Amino acid sequence: MIAYHAIVLLIATLTTTTFFPFVKAVTPADRANHECVILQSTIYCYGGAPRVPTEAISIVSHTTGLFYTLDLSQEKSVSDLETSWVEYTGQNVGPNNYFAMVAIPGENSFIIDGGRGGGGQTGPFIKNSTVIFNATGDGQFSTIRDGNHSVVDSHCGVYDPASNQAFFYGGRKSYEYSGLLGSEGFPDTMPIFDVFRSTWSLSRSTLRKLTQETRVNHKGVLGNDGNTIYYIGGIYPSAENPDGSVEYQYASMTQILTYNIQESTWGLETTSGLVPSSRIDHSLTLKPSTGEIVVYGGSPMGSGIPVPDYFYILDPGNMVWSNRSINASDDAQGAGARFGHAAVRAGNDTLFIIFGSTGQSDSSIHVLDIGSWSWVNKIVGFGSNGQPNTPPGGITPNDPSSDTSSGVSSGTIAGAVVGAVVGVCFF
């Protein structure tokens, strides 16, 4: 009888090991110019390249360790989060940086569009201009037909849940990174992807070339009205030389380019107040409770170092810029001046600043509470709806007097093994 039970236990153990593979949580290699999104309670980060101050122009992507996930479902310290990434073990879509990536929450998916591929003149070039990753189950990449829109890099994507469309604005098409024939070019219309129909269209309004309307290295965010997209910062091609080269100028931070989704029209809004210095490689985040837009980080054009004035707030209601001091709760570490990072908001107020470069790229995570404007050193965890697990009036992320005796300590969670995910690509 004892032998029988031992055999049953052994079989059960082997079965569990076979069908539920485990991997060790890791810290990704240093990187910048990657992209990250959140779906349910998981952050997904793809691509990127190591950056040092002397490499302001020629940036070569990582060729391994391309795709990572981070589970936010449990209370955990920020330092533990940094070592809790899980590398996606399925096939990927190749090296890439300076691409656009948008989350499609209703489909539990995200889209990757364009980019520089390997980043060098000899490749590896991007495998497909646009792909979608469905995170359901083991996860799977599939190709989206390009709809004849140009392969570009250094653009941005914004998703509108009301129309179920993704808008990919700006950027540069270049044979240097795409492997395609031709010279540099700048789209004068905006490709729009209809998620439900899986079809492409172009914005009706045409952008004027060699003006601030055709931007590169900018960022965009959907406003609180659910109809206006705000495009801030970046550079634009101001002149084309006879030899085919292009001259760039900064897009003014006093001129905010807008796109009205319902009317399919472009506009320019003039700002006032404490106007930020010009920049590229920054991030934009909407604060839902107020409609304010948070600008974080950035770098000067042609530079491998960050701008010193790295934090601003734009009120779209009156188009006034401001900034403020950011506090630090307990021993929380702020992100400081950096560029090429990813900014991901979980819930209404928890902003993750992920990786990026301070002159030298790193693999750090920093968490900013944009409700209290303070850096925090732990998170309470988020549910599948993307909202904090803690009910209002319950445990707060940085209240040392809160009762955290849930049966599993943050240290125990950090030491737990994390299940691997496997996927298949179709190209």
φ/ψ of 361, rounded to 5, equals -65, 155
The answer to whether the CB of 228 falls within 8 A of the CB of 198 is no
* Residue 168 scores a pLDDT above 50: yes
Look at residues 98, 106, 116 and name the one whose alpha carbon lies nearest to residue 35.
Answer: 98
**Which string of DSSP letters, residue by residue, matches 133-201?**
EE-STT-EEEEPP-TTPPP-BS-EEEEETTTTEEEEE--BB-HHHH--SS--B--SS-EEEETTTTEEE
The answer to whether the CB of 111 falls within 8 A of the CB of 104 is yes
Average pLDDT over every residue of 351-370:
98
Q: Which range has the top average pLDDT, 137-141, 165-169, 395-399?
A: 165-169
The band of 90, judged by pLDDT with boundaries at 50, 70 and 90, is confident
Taking the C-alpha atoms of residue 200 and residue 184, their distance in angstroms, rounded to an integer, is 23
Identify the structural domains of the chain with CATH numbers, from first to last.
22-392 (2.120.10.80)
Give 257's strand partners. 231, 268
The band of 400, judged by pLDDT with boundaries at 50, 70 and 90, is very low
* Residue 55 or residue 324, greater confidence: 324
Neighbours of 400 (CB within 10 A): 8
Taking the C-alpha atoms of residue 154 and residue 421, their distance in angstroms, rounded to an integer, is 30
Q: Report the range of poorest mean pLDDT among 3-12, 261-270, 382-391.
A: 3-12
**Helix, strand and coil percent figures for the chain, each rounded to 5:** 10, 35, 55
Average pLDDT over every residue of 100-104:
99
Phi/psi-derived region of residue 248, left when phi > 0, alpha when psi is between -120 and 50, beta in every other case: beta
- pTM above the 0.75 mark? yes
Taking the C-alpha atoms of residue 330 and residue 317, their distance in angstroms, rounded to an integer, is 34
**Mean pLDDT (the chain, rounded):** 85
Taking the C-alpha atoms of residue 410 and residue 58, their distance in angstroms, rounded to an integer, is 41
What is the three-class DSSP state of 319? coil
Q: Cα 235 to chain center, whole Å? A: 20
Distances (CA, A) of 103 to 113, 134, 253: 12, 10, 26
Both tokens assigned to 220: 């965009």
pLDDT in tens, 21-61: 346 799 999 999 999 999 999 999 999 999 988 665 568 88
